[in-house]
Structure 1
Amino acid sequence: MTNSLVYEPLQLKNQVINRWLTSGIFEKKMTFVPTTMEGDVNDWLLKGFSIHENPCRKEFVTERRSRVPERIATDSALPGVSLTLLEQAKPWNVYFPWGNPRVEWSGFWFVPTYLCTYGVTGVIAPSAHRAKLNIKTCGGLTLWVNGSLALDFAPFTRNMEQETEVWIDLQAGHNELMVCLEDLAERDTQYYFSMEYIGEQQIRVAVPLDEETSAQDVQAVEQALLGASFPQDVVTSGDVKLTLANPLHQQLAFAMVYGSEFDGNLKRRTSVLEQGAAELNFGHVDDYVMDFSAMRFETKIGSVQINKMAALQIYPGKFAEVQADTIQERKQQALHCIAQQGKPNIHTALARIQSGYDVAAATQLIRDGIAFINERKDCSDFYLVGLFKLWKEYRHTDLLDPALWEEIKSCVLNFRYWIDEPGDDVMWFFSENHSLLFHTCELLGAQLFPDEVFTNIGETGAVHRAKGEQRLAQWFERFFAEGLAEWNSSAYIPIDAVGLLHIYDLVESEFLRAQAKKAMDLLYYYITLNARNGYVASTFGRSYEKELKGHYTAGTTSMCWIGYGVGNINSYAISNVILCLTDYEPPAAYADYLQPEAGQALTFKYEQGKDGYAKLHGYKTADYSLTSIYNFRPGYRGYQEHVAEVFFTPEAQLWVNHPGERNCFGSGRPSFWAGNGCLPKVAQHKGLCVLIYQNDRNHNVDYTHAYFPTMAFDRSMQAGNWYFVEKEGAYAAVYAQNGLELQTFGPNLGRELVSPGYDNVWILRVSSQKESGSFGQFMDEVSRMGLQVSPSEVTVEDSKYGTLHMAWDGLLSVNGVEQSEDFAGVEGRIERSVL
């Protein structure tokens, strides 16, 4: 190669070849034979989502295994040169892994979509030899070495990594490797491969470049972006800035693409990095809409496009000042906020119409939403439900285009309402929130059109009404017995709420309306129990980074503010538009749970999920809260379970997890911060929590870590295996058996504590000035703890709580008394005590 980017392979267990020239993703929407499905809607949370395989995948895999992908010519495989496939032209570009051992394009596709990506790289070997490659993939991977087919590995097990080995012959000097990665995307899709070289030689990787592009300049920009970070994880005032750890000695133009690909709401800003400058400025926070945004930073060196992902919560501080005395006033304020700043969807359109905004623009949002639903994109049920409130409020007015009503009617009549109806879509039915929304939409559509034929299954509205009422009655029966299957989830409580509030407001059955009211009250019970100062900060059954870090913009935050005036207003639309448009009010008595009085503590234990599988423990005072899930599936592979949380303020918080992936801005479930690759054994007694990790050695993340944003605390200090923090007179201590290292480089600079090893023990301890005196006295108190720690057993001698003992195969005991696993059902027990 006359010009190329040459790298040493990433060193993990073996030499990882993660430097490639890639084509990007060629996509083709797929159609299949419509068919039905079956299964329990909550079993997947314990058994894994793969127990519900869409029939379309079987059809796809059968066809794909009958052929081998075409090997393409690589003569013109250079950055910026287009490759044409599936009637699409895409430019080759360098893949920058940013420390990710995988070569990855995981994401979200709303409809069944064929994905295909080609990659080319060079391997420079000191001498000719035979070597083994360890291949891991989500998808199917075909490999050619020096022009010859070496492997066609086609497992195609959705979102479940599969592994194989292949022996290859490498010649001395340069060798060409080509891959073709394929899969069928079905909503959230893990789409990647990893390639480990297992051999005796030290190889190098050479990515081809055109002659006009400087390899040195490309690598300098890559290094600068590798160390880039935000000064903090939320911006409420001032400018939105990205700091570069290694300033470049040239002027360089950058673009920032931000917003949500999920709802197509992407925006673009530009900035110039001046010669020698150390930061990029993308303008004042007041010029943004509030959101927790994925951000892609883009620049170009010669023919090479360099993209780097990041994430940031933006909440213009002026909205935190919005106050209203009554719930009616707060509903009006929230509706106006959504109308101004809400994401572009049917719910926001309704808020804009109700608030007197541009009707034509709102109508276009509705039509865009109808097109989304008509394609049967995943999450269509979240938005279809909003059409029924729109119909009730405006069908008999002249405000909207008359043709719109026929479009809505057609949308409702042609929808697929459940898994026993035929379809070739990948809408997700198998969760508590989706099943509620599908049943709600079915009943509301049937009420509107009782005599019309619903075309997907050929049944009348009257038949659908009977089904909808029966299904909702069964849903409520299960809900009141089990609570939230996705316990406390700040992401999905609002999704349940949008269904319940539409039932409460629009369903004709008095029984179902009463059930919906009762269920909404239960949601607010969980919100107020787990909220501190109006922010739901808790162990979660399903978590995403956008809720874990994005408390200002979470739907539950605005729900709490609307209900009780605590928290803050925001633009979350899905649940909160209908909340603002109904007469529903949460129980006033629950306000007592929001914030204990000074000098008091609130302890709460309760159960959620099938057979009470989630045993939840919370402890909060006027200064802090600590919550956890007790003894939940320790040692098993995790999903999106957030197992423990220390919370002071929306920015000052900390938690421990085992990363599900090494890519800190990936979309895995579990991801880097949300969920656990492997679940720990967890137990809590009041302000002390113990986590024991015995992680699977086959998992590619060999450490655990804590989210620890030092910039959000008043101060932080290290002492041995402990880190201590203070926030406004509240204290926390974090311990890891294997030691702690605070990150000093990269996107998690100053906000990540890393502890190496598959087996580890973490301890969280919270207190306050009232309980422990000064910060120094708290540090002394914790440092004097008696600790006997091993991967299978932990004993803690605490000056306040006494002796806590937990073994991997046993239950928590406190002062020799084994703690009961009876957490008293979905409403549980609440105890108040004096500190």
Structure 2
Amino acid sequence: MTAANCEIGRNDALTRFLISDPIIKRFGQFEDHETMEDKLKYKFQNGFVDVGDLPCRKHFWQQMANRSVDLNDKPECPHINFANGKRKVDFSGFIYTPTHVQYWAETILHSDKKQSCNFKLSTCGGVRIWVNRKLVTQFTPFKRNTVSSVEISLPLEQGKNEVIVHAEDLFERDTQYFFELILLDDTHLKTYLDGLNEQNLADIEAFTSGLAYNLNVKNHQFYLQSECELPASLSVKGRIWGMSNEEEIDETLTLQSIQIEQNKFCLQLPPTLKPAHYAVELAFQYQGIELKRVCNVNIMPEGKAPAQSSIQARKQNGLAFIAAEGMNTTGKLLALLANKSNPELAASILNRTLQKISLREDCSDFWMVSVLWAWKMSNYTQLPDKMWDRVKSSILGYRYWLDEPGNDAMWFWSENHVLCFHVSQLLAGQYFPREQFLCSGRLGNEQQKIASQRLNLWFDHILENGLTEWNSSCYYPIDYIGLFAIYELSDCDLLKQKAKTVIDRLMIMSALHFQNGVASGTMGRVYEKELMANEMTELAGFGHIAWGDGWHTRMCASLPMFCLSQYEPPALSNEIARLENRNSVEAYYTQGMDKAAKILVWKQAGVMLSSSVDHLTGKPGHQQHLLDIQFAKNPKARVWLNHPGEDTPGGEGRPSYWAGNGVLPRVMQHKNTAMMLFKLNADTRVKFTHIYLPTEALDEVFINEHWCMIKSGNAFVVIGCSEPIERVSQGLTRGREVRSYGEQSAWYVEVGNLSPELNFEQLVASWKDTKVELRGSESSAVAKISTPTEQSFQLSWDGACIVNNQSWSFPPEAGLNPIIK
């Protein structure tokens, strides 16, 4: 056996480590509960909100930042850190309650001489480093989701040097937690992992990093393909968990030998897995070495829901589907109670939900609204009285806002959480007006009065400014939790009318972006999993119930509430969702404070283009999805452009690789054409922009040095770039990603339908030599194109736009109610 090693030089990251199992402990004691200053101004924004440290982090910093960690407490480090292109040693994730997590890491650095080597240490969390068993660094800023950096020096002896790292942080829901070590000196060091065969590790790393796979799984057959062959046999085991907070899934993959043919192999996933988003952790075992890689996949539904003419029939059918197949959440509980079916499952779901509420897990405000709805509709039937007594106890004991004491990781500041907290407080007080609420000490009628005042402030902002999470397939369903609960259950007519107004607006906006049964379009907040399987989103399920086209969805945070309600969408929404009596739709509207999101939509039967223009241009992005192309033929024929927010796909970043933008571009759209200008910062880590290209869902693709042209059904998109483009040919995204490198680039997009006079071959021939020009730099950059159809588009970094020799800007009269042409 020899030591597995690699070499690092100046500006390289040290990522070769052996890692311990996590050391996990719940943090946040009841005696530490306290109230927090209510900084909410009911002026919502997209992105990170600086709300100060929660009580749990204050206590964590006090206890952990300056403590001593005993090196003798280091556990075994049996796991190989598989960086797979990342420069970080990354432990990021999501935990619903305040949780202290620690990892240990160890490696060996070989130096040709005695020297002190300078590294840039960056972390979210806190880090301690020992070299040859001497503590040389203790860096414990513990700033939540904020990167802190320091320059450190590691004293190295000639030859072998043992390096041990202790990393820890407090998880508060979504948590960025990592350390990164970048060598600053002009020298070379070798990194060793003792006890591992160098060649075997190199073989399995090359095999695993070269894996590509289809994100969308059918018949539970998970197909993978690697670029590399292995000279010896390979086995795999693993585990699977759900990527949605709606259902807890934990399945195992038993150890099995892999039969590789032409670099391809197939794994049989458990047949018990129902359509949803899953993380599949594969532990490859090769010649005594185990290497883990997580693959995010979607198990797809089989087909569209049956067509039914009336919305009442679709609501009943939707409730029946959710009761039978929905995720095991309080939304499903409502469907089970409504259908008077499976009381054992209903009791199990309710019991687990009450545990989450009692623990004050993040997102428990969502489920509390459903519990209150269940209380209203139950009339103490179907489930045992003792269960409903426990429900009442949970309602009276919950923490409904910042002015009530607590030490938890619940998030009170985004527009969807604010709504659900206030609705929970409103209905709880309404149902128990004379009962005392334990956390606040108030009576229920006081809770109801306070919640009513707060809800009116929320509605005042939303009715004036709209939503920062515009068109979001993951957050509109959460908004609907609160809105439908007010509409159906509140005894305040004014709040009911305000809720209906907002629901109507959401339905119209969703209809504009509804394309042949799926929810698509530009969005204020999104995640990769929703972008890549949009027929499974709950918003697509809303579209089916509202307009009679689309898929049943197992996601059921609020869909059962729609089905149980008396609400019917505006007639206009059906017309624009399904293009009834229309050849196309062109619309303009705004969302967010100061009209931050200026949204344009152009839709024909075959394809849709939508964007948010002039949105925070040049600033760091969050989860804003600014430009979207959706074909009608295949729901997965969805194409977009963005600047990656992190190094590799499937990460926990906000923004991530595909969802959001590291740096927001200048965007302008005119009808079925658009242009994007990207200007990356000198210190921006990812130096390319790219196209998401779902090849398996497209009919034809043409790519040359500057153009990517796509055909789906009878529709097309042409995408041109001022800089050279290249199709990725290695790794996870090979064949499915087109990149353009450089700090400045201009992209042009045009969509439309083919005709007898213009087929795809003719389209390619007419466009392939067209130039997208980009001149100037910084604030003087100007991009322009003259198209084969004698159209012209010019966009400046300062926002000036000229289309067909006429100045064009987003219509200043556009407001919350869309202008629809």
Smaller-chain TM-score range? Answer: over 0.9
Matches within 5 A, 1:97-112: 97-112=83-98
Q: Secondary structure at the residue paired with 2:212?
A: coil
Which residue of structure 2 aligns with residue 4 of structure 1? 3
Alpha-carbon displacement from aligned partner over 1:299-358 (angstroms, at most 9, x marks no partner): 3347654221112222231x4253323222222222232223322222223323434542
SS at 2:370's partner residue? Answer: helix
1:467–1:26 CA distance, 2 compared to 1 (3 A): same
1:822 lines up with 2:804 in the alignment: no
Change (3 A) 1:46 1:576: closer
- Which position in structure 2 is the counterpart of 1:28? 25
State the Cα distance separating 1:765 from its structure 2 match.
1.9
**1:763-802 matches, cutoff 5 A:** 763-770=748-755, 773-783=758-768, 785-790=770-775, 791=777, 792-800=781-789, 802=791
1:171-214 per-residue CA deviation (whole Å, 9 max, x = no partner) reads 222211111112121110000011111222222211233xxx65
SS in 1 for 2:313: helix
Q: Residue 286 of structure 1 contacts residue 316 of structure 1 at CA under 8 Å; is this kept in 2?
A: no
How far residue 92 of structure 1 moved from its aligned partner, in angstroms, is: 3.1
Separation in structure 1 between the aligned mates of residue 42 and residue 736 of structure 2, nearest angstrom: 35
Question: Is the counterpart of residue 514 in structure 1 residue 504 in structure 2?
Answer: no
What TM-score do you get using the length of structure 2 for normalisation?
A: 0.94
Q: 1:556 to 1:6 in 2, by over 3 A?
A: same
Name the CA shift for 1:720/1:304 in 2 (closer, same or farther; >3 Å): closer
- In 2, Cα distance between equivalents of 1:43 and 1:471: 13
Residues 467 and 591, structure 2, Cα contact 8 Å, conserved in 1: yes
Matched to 1:240, the amino acid is: F
Distance 1:772 1:129 in 2: 72
State the Cα distance separating 1:816 from its structure 2 match: 3.3
Distance 1:823 1:192 in 2: 46
Q: C-alpha displacement at 1:784, in angstroms?
A: 5.2
For 1:77, the equivalent position in structure 2 comes to none
Instruction: Supply the AA of the counterpart residue of 2:387.
Output: L
Say whether 1:37 aligns with 2:19.
no
Map 1:192-203; keep pairs closer than 5 Å.
192-203=178-189
Contact preservation (8 Å) 1:693, 1:758: yes
1:363 aligns with 2:326: no
Partner of 1:155: 141
- CA–CA separation in structure 1 for the residues paired with 2:357 and 2:127: 33
Q: Is the 8 A contact 1:7 1:204 kept in 2?
A: yes
AA partner of residue 154 (structure 2): I
CA shift for structure 1 position 770: 3.2
Q: List per-residue Cα deviations over 1:760-790 (Å, max 9, x = no partner).
A: 2222221220397111222234335453213
Give the equivalent residue in structure 2 for 1:469. 452
Distance 1:384 1:304, change over 3 A: farther
Residue 419 of structure 1 corresponds to 402
Aligned partner of 1:241 in structure 2 is 223
C-alpha distance in 2 between matches for 1:146 and 1:284: 45
Equivalent residue for 1:265? 249
Are the counterparts in 1 of residues 717 and 751 from structure 2 also a CA contact under 8 Å? yes
1:566 aligns with 2:556: no
Over 3 Å counting, the alpha-carbon distance change for 1:72 and 1:196 in structure 2 is farther
Residues 233-268 of structure 1 deviation map (CA, whole Å, 9 limit, x = unaligned)? 323457332333334431523335242374432223
Of 192-201 and 340-349, more deviation after overlay is shown by 340-349
Alpha-carbon distance in structure 1 between the residues aligned to 2:439 and 2:582: 60
Structure 2 letter corresponding to 1:589: L
Aligned to 2:66: 66
Q: Report the residue type matching 1:29 in the other structure.
A: R
**Secondary structure in 2 aligned to 1:541?**
coil
Aligned residues of 2:702 and 2:764 also touching (Cα < 8 A): no
Correspondence 1:684 to 2:650: no
TM-score (norm 1): 0.92
Matched-pair contact (CA < 8 Å) for 2:547–2:577: no
- For the structure 1 residues 244 and 269, does the alpha-carbon distance in structure 2 shift closer, same or farther, using more than 3 Å as the test? same
Q: CA deviation at 1:614?
A: 0.9
Aligned to 2:538: 555
Q: Summarize the Cα distance change of 1:115–1:772 in structure 2 as closer, same or farther, 3 Å threshold.
A: farther
Q: 2:766 & 2:670 partners in 1: Cα distance? A: 17
The CA distance in 1 between the partners of 2:692 and 2:43, in whole Å, is 30
TM superposition shift of 1:800:
4.4
Equivalent residue, structure 1, for 2:380: 396
Superposed CA offset, 1:551-579 (max 9, x none): 12101100000111112111111011111
For 1:816, the aligned partner's letter is: Q
**Match of 2:603, SS?**
strand
Question: Which residue in 2 is equivalent to 1:181?
Answer: 167
Aligned-partner SS, 2:579: coil
| Pair 1:71–1:458, CA change in 2 (3 A) | same
2 CA distance for matches of 1:116 and 1:615? 44
Query: What secondary structure, in the 3-state scheme, does the structure 1 residue paired with 2:505 have?
Result: helix
Kindly provide the CA deviation profile for residues 800-828 of structure 1, in whole angstroms up to 9, marking residues without a partner as x. Answer: 47332211123322223142452511113
Shift of 1:730: 0.9
2:747–2:772 Cα contact (<8 Å) kept: no
Whole-Å Cα distance in 1 between the matches of residues 411 and 394 of structure 2? Answer: 19
Helix, strand or coil for the counterpart of 1:49? coil
SS at match of 2:711: strand
Shift of the alpha carbon at 1:669? Answer: 0.7
Residues 333-386 of structure 1 show CA distances to partners (whole Å, capped at 9, x for unaligned) of 222322233222222233234345421122011111100011111000111111
Instruction: State the alpha-carbon separation in 2 of the partners of residues 302 and 119 from structure 1.
Output: 23
Is residue 271–residue 282 contact of structure 1 (8 Å, CA) maintained in 2? no
Contact 2:721 2:772 in 1 (8 A): no
| Aligned-residue offset at 1:271 | 6.6
Between the aligned partners of 1:145 and 1:326, the Cα distance in structure 2 is: 71
Kindly tell me: are residues 772 and 829 of structure 1, through their superposed partners in 2, closer, same or farther at Cα, counting changes over 3 Å? Answer: farther
Contact 2:745/2:774 (8 A) holds in 1: no
Judged with a 3 Å threshold, the aligned counterparts in structure 2 of structure 1 residues 503 and 167 are, in CA distance, closer, same or farther, namely: same
* More off after superposition, 275-284 vs 305-314: 275-284
* Aligned counterparts of 2:428 and 2:401: Cα–Cα separation in 1: 13
CA contact (8 A) 2:547 2:578 kept: no
Write out per-residue CA displacement over residues 25-44 of structure 1, whole angstroms, 9 at most, x where no aligned residue: 21222223422132236656
Q: 2:817 corresponds to which letter in structure 1?
A: E
- Counterpart of 2:83, as a letter, is P
Please tell me the residue identity of whatever aligns with 1:501: F
Residue number in structure 2 paired with 1:807: 796
Q: Tell me, in whole angstroms, the C-alpha distance in 2 between the residues paired with 1:55 and 1:709.
A: 45
- 1:398-445 alpha-carbon deviations (Å, 9 max, x no partner): x21111111101111111111222221111111111111111111111
**Contact 2:105-2:165 at 8 Å conserved across structures:** yes
Read off the aligned partner of 2:425 and give its amino acid letter. E
Would you say 1:122 and 2:108 are equivalent positions? Answer: yes
Q: 1:169 aligns with which of 135, 155, 165?
A: 155
Query: Which residue of 681, 685, 702 corresponds with 1:700?
Result: 685
- The one-letter code sitting in structure 2 at the alignment partner of 1:8 is E
SS at match of 1:517: helix
- Alpha-carbon offset, residue 607 of structure 1: 0.5
Q: Offset at 1:596?
A: 3.5
Counterpart CA distance in 1 for 2:786 and 2:248 is 53
Q: Which of 286, 301, 317 is the aligned partner of 1:316?
A: 301
Residues 296-311 of structure 1 mapped to structure 2, 5 A cutoff:
296-301=281-286, 304-311=289-296
Return the match for 1:486 from 469, 482, 485.
Answer: 469
Change (3 A) 1:33 1:356: closer
Unpaired stretches in structure 1, ≥5 consecutive residues: 75-81, 84-90
Q: 1:736 aligns with which of 711, 715, 721?
A: 721
Cα distance in 2 between the residues matched to 1:285 and 1:623: 36
- Amino-acid identity (%): 29
Displacement of 1:583 in angstroms is 1.9
* Separation of aligned partners in 2, 1:652 and 1:126: 54
Question: The residue matched to 2:304 in structure 1 has which SS?
Answer: helix
Give the deviation of 1:52 after TM superposition.
4.3
Aligned to 1:670: 655
What root-mean-square deviation, in Å, do the aligned CA atoms of Structure 1 and Structure 2 show? 2.3
The answer to whether residue 372 in structure 2 is matched with residue 372 in structure 1 is: no
Distance 1:26 1:801 in 2: 64
Q: 1:293 aligns with which of 273, 278, 283?
A: 278
Distance 2:372 2:107 in 1: 54
Work out the CA distance in 2 between the residues paired with 1:771 and 1:198: 61
